[in-house]
């Protein structure tokens, strides 16, 4: 049994891809509550990092990544290769984060 491996590359050192199982993906849509949105808006006026949004996007990436890995595990994968993240606006106040990669079976 191989522990689930994740990689942004198309290969895993010391392993060969035995079987491609398909695309594994996970996503989440996030929006900040009004109070934090107002604080971020004020911070935007003076410049600097919008920490409220940085925190939101970090949490969203983690959740999307975990959902992708969970889907790969359900597919019977040993690894996910070629992992990528993308984001898009869903509404003016909400963004989607999508994590995706190729679920594969490995052999030594």
Per-residue tokens: 57:
């996007």
Percent of the chain with pLDDT over 70: 83
Sheet holding 16-30, edge to edge: 5-6, 79-91, 94-107, 16-30
CATH code of 5-107, in short, is 3.30.110.70
Strand partners for 25: 100
Q: What is the pLDDT of residues 63-88, one digit of tens each?
A: 999 999 999 999 999 999 999 999 99
Between residues 51 and 103, the one the model is more confident about:
103
pLDDT tens column, 35-48:
665 666 666 666 77
Between 28 and 89, the more confident residue is 28
pLDDT over 70 at 102, yes or no = yes
Identify which of 5, 11, 4, 9 has the alpha carbon closest to the alpha carbon of residue 83. Answer: 9
- For the cut 80, the answer to whether the pLDDT of residue 92 exceeds it is no
Q: What residue segments make up the domains of the chain, in order of their start?
A: 5-107
Q: Where are the alpha helices (DSSP H) in the chain?
A: 34-46, 51-74
């Amino acid at each position: 049994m191989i522990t689930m491996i994740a990689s942004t590359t198309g290969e895993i050192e010391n392993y060969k891809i035995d079987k491609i199982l398909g695309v594994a993906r996970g996503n989440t849509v996030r929006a900040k509550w009004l109070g934090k949105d107002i604080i971020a808006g004020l911070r935007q006026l003076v410049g600097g990092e919008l920490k409220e949004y940085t925190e939101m996007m970090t949490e969203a990436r983690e959740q999307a990544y975990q959902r992708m890995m969970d889907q790969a595990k359900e597919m019977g994968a040993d690894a996910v290769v070629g992992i990528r993240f993308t984001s898009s606006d869903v509404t003016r106040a909400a963004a989607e984060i999508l994590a995706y990669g190729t679920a594969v079976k490995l052999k030594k």
